[in-house]
């Protein structure tokens, strides 16, 4: 999962850099965006793009993949979990789409600024958010996870022993063996204790 999220971020970042280079360095669609004198891109602009796009990309990833993870942790197969997560995650998709539209509108407001320094920043962020939210997160990531199957949820065993299992999704509650020892029993309110060995 972290690898697909990172690969999606890199795709969005490359698309944003490509759009910036095409418009502000080579002058493509210059009349539309008010670029009369194409020049090399500012040296600090990639740093700003990386920071902002990474934060937004991981937010959209969380909105869109959490439903898939919940379905997989409840016992669905990997491909069925992706399908159910996409269908059941309409609220997450709607939130991600609304957030992307808002952020794109905010960043696009800087494209026609009087400052030639601010214009490419606004364009790069607006274009990067559009590509990330609507192409990468809602199309490419679910398709890649469906093709990867169980490998999309692979976790190294040595790392699994180190990382604590927080069970945020409540997967243990849905397992047939019942809740883990030490949790209150719903029937009588007593705490189950593990058997002594």
Per-residue confidence (pLDDT) for residue 43, from 0 to 100: 84
* Segment among 11-15, 57-61, 167-171, 188-192 with least mean pLDDT: 188-192
Is 67 within 8 Å of 85 (Cβ atoms)?
yes
β-bridge partners, 184: 191
Q: For 43-48, which contacts have Cβ atoms below 8 Å and span 24 or more sequence positions?
A: 45/20, 45/120, 45/121, 45/124, 46/17, 48/121, 48/125
Mean pLDDT of the region 156-164: 86
Per-residue confidence (pLDDT) for residue 191, from 0 to 100: 45
Positive or negative: CA dihedral 139, 142, 147, 152: positive
CA angle in degrees (0–180, nearest 5) for 25-28-30: 90
Q: What does the pLDDT look like over 52-70, one tens digit per residue?
A: 999 999 988 888 888 888 8
DSSP 8-state code for residue 163: S
Is 149 within 8 Å of 78 (Cβ atoms)?
yes
Per-residue confidence (pLDDT) for residue 192, from 0 to 100: 47
Mean pLDDT of the region 173-193: 50
Choice between 182 and 149, residue whose per-residue pLDDT is larger: 149
pLDDT above 70: residue 194: no
Using alpha carbons, list the distances in angstroms from residue 23 to 13, 154, 177: 16, 40, 59
Choice between 82 and 165, residue whose per-residue pLDDT is larger: 82
Q: What does the pLDDT look like over 16-31, one tens digit per residue?
A: 999 989 988 888 887 7
Nearest-angstrom CA–CA distance, 4 and 79: 15
Is 99 within 8 Å of 59 (Cβ atoms)?
yes
Per-residue confidence (pLDDT) for residue 168, from 0 to 100: 66
Nearest-angstrom CA–CA distance, 63 and 95: 7
Q: What does the pLDDT look like over 57-116, one tens digit per residue?
A: 998 888 888 888 888 877 888 888 888 888 776 666 788 888 899 999 999 999 888 888
pTM score, two decimals? Answer: 0.74
Q: What does the pLDDT look like over 109-145, one tens digit per residue?
A: 998 888 888 888 999 999 999 999 999 988 999 899 9
CA angle in degrees (0–180, nearest 5) for 52-53-59: 100
> What residue spans define the domains of the chain?
2-170
């Amino acid at each position: 999962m972290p690898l697909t999220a990172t690969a999606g971020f890199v795709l969005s970042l490359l698309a944003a850099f490509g759009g910036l280079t095409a418009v502000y360095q080579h002058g493509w669609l210059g009349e539309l965006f008010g670029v009369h004198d194409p020049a090399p891109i500012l040296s600090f602009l990639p740093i700003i793009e990386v920071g902002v796009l990474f934060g937004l990309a991981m937010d959209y990833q969380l909105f869109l993949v959490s439903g898939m993870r919940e379905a997989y942790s409840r016992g669905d197969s990997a491909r069925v979990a992706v399908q159910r997560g996409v269908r059941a995650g309409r609220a997450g998709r709607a939130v991600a789409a609304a957030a992307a539209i808002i952020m794109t509108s905010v960043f696009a407001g800087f494209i026609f600024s009087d400052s030639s320094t601010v214009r490419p920043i606004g364009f790069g962020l607006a274009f990067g958010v559009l590509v990330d939210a609507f192409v990468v997160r809602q199309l490419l990531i679910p398709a890649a996870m469906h093709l990867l199957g169980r490998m999309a949820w692979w976790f190294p065993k040595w790392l699994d022993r180190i990382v604590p299992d927080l069970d945020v999704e409540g997967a243990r509650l849905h397992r047939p063996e019942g809740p883990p020892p030490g949790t209150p029993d719903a029937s009588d309110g007593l705490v189950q204790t593990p058997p002594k060995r």
